[in-house]
Structure 1
Amino acid sequence: MGQPQPILEPLTPAAHFLVATVEPGGEVAARGLLAELPGLRRSIGFRLPGAGLGCITGVGSTAWDRLFGGPRPAELHEFPGYDGPLHHAPATPGDLIFHIRAQVHDACFELAMAIGDRLADIGTIVDETVGFRYFEQRDLLGFVDGTENPEGGFPDTPAGRAALIGAGDPDFTGGSYVIVQKYLHDLTAWRALPVPEQERVIGRTKLEDFELADDVKPADSHIAVNQVIEPDGTEREILRANMPFGSVRDGEFGTYFVGYSATPRTTETMLERMFFGTDEATHDRILDFSTAVTGTLFFVPPQDFFDDLPAPPDAAEAADPGLPPGADGSLGIGTLKRSSTV
């Protein structure tokens, strides 16, 4: 199995999410950024000992074919979006995602600025979200988020099996699919609900974070709708890395949903159930208070993928001797390639 990017590491207090598009003609420079990124991360992280700076990088379906040749991840496709009877989840643009995480925000911000500088002439940052850890791992609705995440920080653990590709796609073992969505909460309407009713919406107690009993938990609660059980009784899981975000000035408060999975079908099934309902529920009731405003799907390659990026079929431009060192993904010293990891 290829060495995964730091998907399985514990959530950090700070996170910075950049979603970017790459303009036509910017492919060579974008490849250069991907090759340079491990060095950028090391340089910044070295100046902040103990910050634990990491960056998980993903590539969208359309961008993949523009940037790389060779095999293609078996299940990579555009985020479909969901147009349910009452609630909607849009599909929004995104060629690259940078999930920057650290113990302190200044480390995240410095790396985000370095990435932004290199994207300035070749693409557009279409979404930037600054995430933070809230009290007791809670979201801004006041409930603990991520309690039921599969556990383990290694590939051969429940978390690894849920999030990482195995032998089914041998060219990309150790990779992952990630769906990201930005949800905005209507806190005025939410706070008007009594706590017992909030608990029925979520399916857990608010203070203790205990799951409600099956005979009490409503079928349209967030917990119930998001449980995907196979006919043999196996539960399909994803690894969530959600982060709260907000702006007091703009009155925007929300959750940045981040779902890593060995197959995007698991997350998509959950979203289908949320927006189109189940046999027992018309929709996930949390959507009455939380509105999806973005949605994109990316493939997160294993770390060693960035050591020697596979050139696209038409690589003549990438071989242009007039390009600056590193623009074609190399160090600019003969044919020596980068051997560092994110």
Structure 2
Amino acid sequence: MTDQSAPKNTSRSTRASRSSGGSVPAAGSGSASAVPEPRATDAATGAGISRRRLLGTAGASGLVLGAAGAAIGYTAAPAGATPLTALGSDRAVFHVKHQPGITEGLQSSGHLVAFDLTAGSGRKEAAALLRRWSGTAERLMAGEPAAHGDTGVARDAGPSSLTITFGFGRSFFDRTGLAQQRPAALEPLPAFSSDRLDKARSDGDLWVQIGANDALVAFHALRALQKDAGSAARVRWQMNGFNRSPGATAHPMTARNLMGQVDGTNNPKPKDPDFDQRIFVPGGGRPAWMANGSYAVVRRIRMLLDDWEKLSLPEQENVIGRRKSDGAPLSGGTETTAMDLEKPGQDGTYVVPVNAHARITRPDQNGGAAMLRRPFSYHDGIGPDGTPDAGLLFICWQADPLRGFVPVQRKLDRGDALSPFIRHEASGLFAVPGGAARGEYVGQRLLEG
């Protein structure tokens, strides 16, 4: 958790795809690969209607929902009848410069899953798996069914901004005989005082991030990729997350976490002149296969909500350094007002306490260290003692974690006022290569280079 906000929840995938160097086809233009269109049936005429035709109606006439903004389910319907809403027809693109799922806005439903290669699986099996996964990701992100054994879970929905992102853990390179190609940035993260890490829910050979604005679309992707793994890989751990649904607020705003706080504000933005430099690995670097890629730090951070909620509102705001109501700094202004770290209060101390979370995590307090945060909240039930197992699936992106996540977390470790109210329970660091060109699969330049 840092004072660098994740992308706004209401951002469209199409806008993010443009910033990633990709072009966005109109809804209904279909996948890049030639695949048979799934057919629905018009109950009145018996005529076949493709899902692609259903998608195609969305671009021409958006459906205006009621004041509650509730989406409705869609079944087969004649062309020109009820179209998909904009929410369902929003589509991210698979073949882009940077993998999808990094610069897009927050999605309302997500799954994180790590796989380990099975005994006997090596470089050849890993290449075949990434080829299968890439093909499935391209189809599902285009709103098409999986090529084999599709479960039909998402047959009534559009792409719903589905993104699927693939990464490699440190152990992957040993298992595939590619240790010489392992990036130096994949050195194990140092230990921190707030760590209570469960090894069974940390790390992994392969990592997959799934996000969508429809829970069934997200689950459909998770199930398809798990089936694709076959005998080559087994699930090591899996986590489920959520965010506020697009359109749930009157206007776009930074997300709130389960503590009720506006969760970060100064996130790097694609329009920033140094955005690519901070977030993505440049071309021409080493290793070459990581060009245009990024590094993802993944942390399951449990929030000790019972303790947090015992604090008064002023106490909570002093811990964070920002107003709970609107995310504005305690030094005054609005959420986007620069924080005045030197402003004194009536008692002579700083208005923003010296150990406030927002003060400690500012890039200008950390040698310019910055990372793009794109988290999900999670809730995994309530224990026998009534304690909620809930918190943040923290995901941050940077060109080098040793210059992004690590220095900020080290500083938090030395005196963050938020530390008594959180616990890091799982951790992972993954190398996420650049996007696959047309005709390629993700990681091909590593596995076949």
TM-score range, shorter chain: 0.7 to 0.9
Does the CA contact (< 8 Å) of 2:173 and 2:179 recur in 1? no
Q: Distance in 1 between matches of 2:358 and 2:184?
A: 26
Q: 1:284: which partner in 2? A: 416
CA-to-aligned-CA distance 1:211-256 (integer Å, 9 cap, x gap): 232231122222122224379xx62210001110103444211100
Does the CA contact (< 8 Å) of 2:168 and 2:431 recur in 1? yes
1:73 positional shift = 5.3
Report the secondary structure of 1:303's partner residue. coil
Residue 247 (str. 1) matches residue 365 (str. 2):
no
1:131 positional shift = 1.2
1:162 positional shift = 2.2
Q: Distance in 2 between matches of 1:181 and 1:243?
A: 11
Q: 2:369: which partner in 1? A: 236
Range moving further from structure 2, 261-270 or 129-138: 129-138
CA-to-aligned-CA distance 1:191-224 (integer Å, 9 cap, x gap): 0001111111112110111123223112222212
Superposed CA RMSD:
2.7
Q: Distance in 1 between matches of 2:218 and 2:113?
A: 11
Range moving further from structure 2, 43-52 or 70-79: 70-79
Residue 303 (str. 1) matches residue 435 (str. 2):
yes
Which segments of 5 or more consecutive residues in structure 1 lack a partner in the other structure?
278-282, 314-342
Q: 2:117: which partner in 1? A: 22
Counterpart of 1:178, as a letter, is: A
Task: Pick one of 128, 131, 134 that aligns with 1:35.
Answer: 131
Q: Distance in 2 between matches of 1:226 and 1:307?
A: 33
1:274 positional shift = 1.7
Report the secondary structure of 1:129's partner residue. strand
CA-to-aligned-CA distance 1:32-62 (integer Å, 9 cap, x gap): 2211222212333324424121111110122
The within-5 A match list for 1:148-297 is 148-152=266-270, 157-167=273-283, 169=285, 171=288, 172-213=290-331, 214=341, 215-229=350-364, 235-250=368-383, 251-265=388-402, 266-275=404-413, 277=414, 283-297=415-429
Q: 1:333: which partner in 2? A: none
Q: Distance in 2 between matches of 1:119 and 1:143?
A: 38
TM-score by length of 2: 0.61
Does the CA contact (< 8 Å) of 1:177 and 1:299 recur in 2? yes
Change (3 A) 1:163 1:30: same
1:178 positional shift = 0.8
Does the CA contact (< 8 Å) of 1:65 and 1:312 recur in 2? no
Q: Distance in 1 between matches of 2:232 and 2:355?
A: 44
Q: Distance in 1 between matches of 2:447 and 2:292?
A: 21
Aligned positions, number: 301
Which of these two proteins has the greater Rg computed from alpha carbons? 2
Range moving further from structure 2, 124-133 or 181-190: 124-133
Q: Distance in 1 between matches of 2:407 and 2:206?
A: 23
Counterpart of 1:152, as a letter, is: P
Does the CA contact (< 8 Å) of 2:116 and 2:233 recur in 1? yes
Q: Distance in 2 between matches of 1:264 and 1:128?
A: 23
Change (3 A) 1:89 1:211: farther
Q: 2:71: which partner in 1? A: none
Change (3 A) 1:176 1:68: farther
Report the secondary structure of 1:114's partner residue. helix
Q: 1:146: which partner in 2? A: 264
CA-to-aligned-CA distance 1:313-338 (integer Å, 9 cap, x gap): 9xxxxxxxxxxxxxxxxxxxxxxxxx
Change (3 A) 1:205 1:17: same
Task: Pick one of 106, 109, 112 that aligns with 1:11.
Answer: 106
Which segments of 5 or more consecutive residues in structure 2 lack a partner in the other structure?
1-20, 22-95, 145-156, 332-340, 342-349
Residue 77 (str. 1) matches residue 77 (str. 2):
no
Does the CA contact (< 8 Å) of 1:159 and 1:239 recur in 2? no
Change (3 A) 1:301 1:294: same
1:122 positional shift = 3.6
Does the CA contact (< 8 Å) of 2:300 and 2:394 recur in 1? yes
1:308 positional shift = 3.2
1:167 positional shift = 4.4
Range moving further from structure 2, 75-84 or 284-293: 75-84
1:307 positional shift = 6.8
Higher relative contact order (CA 8 A, sep 6+): 1
Counterpart of 1:297, as a letter, is: L
Does the CA contact (< 8 Å) of 1:149 and 1:239 recur in 2? yes
Does the CA contact (< 8 Å) of 1:68 and 1:309 recur in 2? no
Report the secondary structure of 2:260's partner residue. coil
Q: Distance in 1 between matches of 2:365 and 2:284?
A: 19
1:76 positional shift = 3.2
Report the secondary structure of 1:235's partner residue. coil
Does the CA contact (< 8 Å) of 2:115 and 2:233 recur in 1? yes
Range moving further from structure 2, 60-69 or 172-181: 60-69
Q: Distance in 1 between matches of 2:166 and 2:407?
A: 24
Does the CA contact (< 8 Å) of 1:145 and 1:242 recur in 2? no
Range moving further from structure 2, 55-64 or 222-231: 222-231
Change (3 A) 1:310 1:80: closer
